[in-house]
Structure 1
């Protein structure tokens, strides 16, 4: 994946252009596998995964970790706004997922000013070891599995680099079996729960951000040591509300804006799930997350029961 012909363009702009210009083909061509996990072949390559193993973290890095369609772009925008206020500089939204693009793009992370905001969908076992050695602050964003699945399904059918599905039922089977990009949802969350460190990690849910945004912003700013007063919190809230980001999506995500910012609702899953499908997810939750710290945070009874 060479980026020489795109020289002069921001990395983010380059990758968005690649996504938009991709022509949908077979799932086999659109996906690659690395260590048993599927990834979009248009955006990821084996050389970058190998280079990530020696990635050098900084102590003041902030790492945003999410399973796909759990609020990634939302959190990254929030952090950029906070950093711009605290450090009195314009936010530069040129970051990409750390696993996206060529090794050359990854190498350019070395030139980014601190504090760097880094985002990823990688599973715990594939996070660069230096992130833990440097005790980087890790912000884990969770979303209830049923809304995540619906959002991921629509994302597959609207984003050129991902395989399309003829029906929700077909996608559901792959989602439950983990045959989707970044692997099984429940194993993703369970692995982070098993290694959760309250000193260096903070978990927050998509749902609590939707219900009480100002309080969520305060928690994020305190954890990331980005002190903001009430007026500044209010400013960040206005700039990063879902409606505000959706309105600005053409500027931030080009022609793919609608794919990244669709509804952002809680409970949309009830429009697609059958009762049997709902029970399957209920059983998966009981198996992997019931009684865990992160499982309790998901407030499953409130957001995932009929």
Structure 2
């Protein structure tokens, strides 16, 4: 069903029907209500695991709301060698949502993205050491951004009781009740463990906060990983065009192509871009919630070397 071809009334009726359904589950992991997953989650997820990766493929791996669109745009500019906005929608090359047969026919370099946990991404890509870009963000800002995204997502809600109120959400996330994409803690710990054990290699790690603080240096580092020798002027141009304000404006103004999200979202805005800041969690977490979340992080990250920046 192409929701965009429906009248506003028909579209809302169709969205309400999807909203009333439960999120798909695979291997204990709650997943988004993307059409291929709603149709047959097991079939689509097995097809992802067995996807025929190529050596030239680049896979962008992030937990939800860790800076996916931002790094996707930066990487797209690096690959084309100029500070020019990419057209089309990232979601079309997102493993969970994509028509995998169409992805197979994409010309090289295939730039693919996913929020799936490490254990669920294409086996061939991992085993052969093909390029991976892994983006991380401090878990507190991830929680705030994820909550606001989920509240505005046109198909969340209904029988899953997700995301509920902010209080419900943060308690559920501390307990990992929904296990959405495995939960941010399990997601990041799996990457750390695999990199230490060298069961995943050729990974370029990017921290959201480092990219905000030192965009030119981080873009230069990413370009080197992608074997792209770009001039300082091009690097600066990419940094400028991919600032939060400029990228959000380009998306909502149509410079990157038609912005379809306002036609679908609950408040008729593009809910992908909200603030793009570090430290907004302080405006959401109560003292008690922050203490509860800190206790969870201390418990779950015990023995881990992962360190996050919570304010700039």
Q: Into which bin does the TM-score normalised by the smaller protein fall?
A: 0.7 to 0.9
Find the aligned partners of 1:227 and 1:291 in 2 and give their Cα distance.
Answer: 38
In the alignment, which residue of structure 1 is the partner of 2:30? 38
Instruction: After TM superposition, give the deviation of residue 89 of structure 1 in Å.
Output: 9.7
1:107 matches 2:107 = no
Find the aligned partners of 2:124 and 2:279 in 1 and give their Cα distance.
Answer: 38
- Check 1:97–1:112 CA distance in 2 against 1; reply closer, same or farther (3 A cut): same
Aligned to 2:276, the other structure's residue is in SS state: coil
Aligned to 1:192, the other structure's residue is in SS state: helix
Matches within 5 A, 1:34-183: 34-45=26-37, 46=41, 47-85=43-81, 91-94=86-89, 95-101=92-98, 105-163=99-157, 165-178=163-176, 179=178, 181-183=180-182
- Check 1:55–1:115 CA distance in 2 against 1; reply closer, same or farther (3 A cut): same
Find the aligned partners of 2:180 and 2:272 in 1 and give their Cα distance.
Answer: 16
Q: Is contact 2:29–2:182 with CA below 8 Å preserved after alignment?
A: yes
Matches within 5 A, 1:226-245: 226-245=228-247
Structure 2: where are the runs of 5+ without partners? 263-268
- Check 1:185–1:25 CA distance in 2 against 1; reply closer, same or farther (3 A cut): farther
- Which of residues 254, 263, 273 in structure 1 aligns to 2:285? 273
Q: Is contact 1:65–1:120 with CA below 8 Å preserved after alignment?
A: yes
Q: Is contact 2:77–2:84 with CA below 8 Å preserved after alignment?
A: no
- Check 1:90–1:175 CA distance in 2 against 1; reply closer, same or farther (3 A cut): closer
Q: Is contact 1:186–1:284 with CA below 8 Å preserved after alignment?
A: no
Find the aligned partners of 2:217 and 2:100 in 1 and give their Cα distance.
Answer: 34
Q: Is contact 1:174–1:180 with CA below 8 Å preserved after alignment?
A: no
Question: TM-score, normalised to structure 2's length?
Answer: 0.82
Question: TM-score, normalised to structure 1's length?
Answer: 0.83
Structure 1: where are the runs of 5+ without partners? none
CA RMSD of aligned residues (A): 2.8
How many residue pairs were aligned?
283
Worse overlay, 47-56 or 72-81? 47-56
1:205 matches 2:219 = no
Q: Is contact 2:93–2:103 with CA below 8 Å preserved after alignment?
A: no
Find the aligned partners of 2:142 and 2:225 in 1 and give their Cα distance.
Answer: 25
Matches within 5 A, 1:6-17: none
Instruction: After TM superposition, give the deviation of residue 262 of structure 1 in Å.
Output: 0.5
